[in-house]
């Protein structure tokens, strides 16, 4: 799903819209890749919080073990450009983990292909194992 700026404004302008519920469902059930976002937007972070919380609650109710829940809760990815302050980057990354986000850091956009490959291979699905990465990029 790709949201333009206008879509984004319309989306968050109506918090009870069907689209908000759909977005929450999609984030809860599927992995998302965030590219070109700072991940500082409070609206997106709020939705990530709710979808991750709901997912973790469901796994606990099903009797999943804590280590599996921790692994499964990290299901989304954000590609972010590394700053000149490593401590700040680590702190920001730590703030995203409870929201279910794993950060793929890049120094320059030329690294994007390598990071996308890393994310694709981390999916650990039968489809990913059977697919040829060169066809994906």
Over residues 81-112, the pLDDT tens digits come to: 999 999 999 999 999 999 999 999 999 877 88
Is the separation of the CB atoms in 48 and 101 below 8 Å? yes
The answer to whether position 135 is within a domain reads: no
Q: pLDDT tier at 137 (50, 70, 90 boundaries)?
A: very low
Flag whether pLDDT at 132 surpasses 70.
Answer: no
The answer to whether position 9 is within a domain reads: no
The predicted model gives 19-39 an average pLDDT of 84
- The lowest-confidence range among 4-8, 31-35, 127-131 is 127-131
Q: Please state the φ and ψ torsions of residue 83, each to the nearest 5 degrees.
A: -95, -175
The answer to whether position 33 is within a domain reads: yes
Mean pLDDT is highest, among 9-18, 32-41, 115-124, for 32-41
The answer to whether position 5 is within a domain reads: no
The answer to whether position 6 is within a domain reads: no
The answer to whether position 58 is within a domain reads: yes
Q: pLDDT tier at 49 (50, 70, 90 boundaries)?
A: very high
Q: Please state the φ and ψ torsions of residue 50, each to the nearest 5 degrees.
A: -65, -45
Q: Which domain holds residue 66?
A: 29-129
The answer to whether position 1 is within a domain reads: no
Domains in the chain, number: 1
Residue that has been written with the tokens 């990290």 in this structure = 74
The tens digit of pLDDT for each residue in 112-127 reads 887 777 777 776 655 5
Write down the pTM of the prediction. 0.72
What is residue 101's predicted lDDT score, i.e. its pLDDT? 96
Q: Is 51 exposed, middle or buried (0-12, 13-18, 19+ CB in 10 A)?
A: buried
The answer to whether position 51 is within a domain reads: yes
Give the 3-state secondary structure percentages of the chain, helix then strand then coil, rounded to 5.
65, 10, 25
């Amino acid at each position: 799903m790709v949201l333009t700026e206008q879509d984004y404004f319309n989306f968050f302008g109506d918090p009870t819209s069907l689209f908000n519920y759909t977005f929450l469902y999609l984030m809860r059930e599927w992995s998302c890749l965030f590219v070109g976002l700072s991940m500082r937007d409070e609206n997106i972070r709020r939705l990530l919080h709710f979808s991750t919380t709901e997912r973790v609650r469901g796994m606990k109710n099903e009797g999943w073990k804590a280590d599996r829940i921790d692994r499964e809760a990290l299901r989304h990815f954000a590609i972010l450009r590394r700053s000149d302050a490593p401590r700040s980057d680590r702190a920001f990354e730590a703030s995203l983990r409870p929201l279910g986000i794993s950060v793929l850091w890049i120094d320059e956009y030329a690294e994007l292909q390598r990071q996308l490959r890393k994310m694709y291979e981390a999916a650990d699905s039968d489809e990913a194992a059977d697919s040829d990465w060169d066809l994906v990029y």
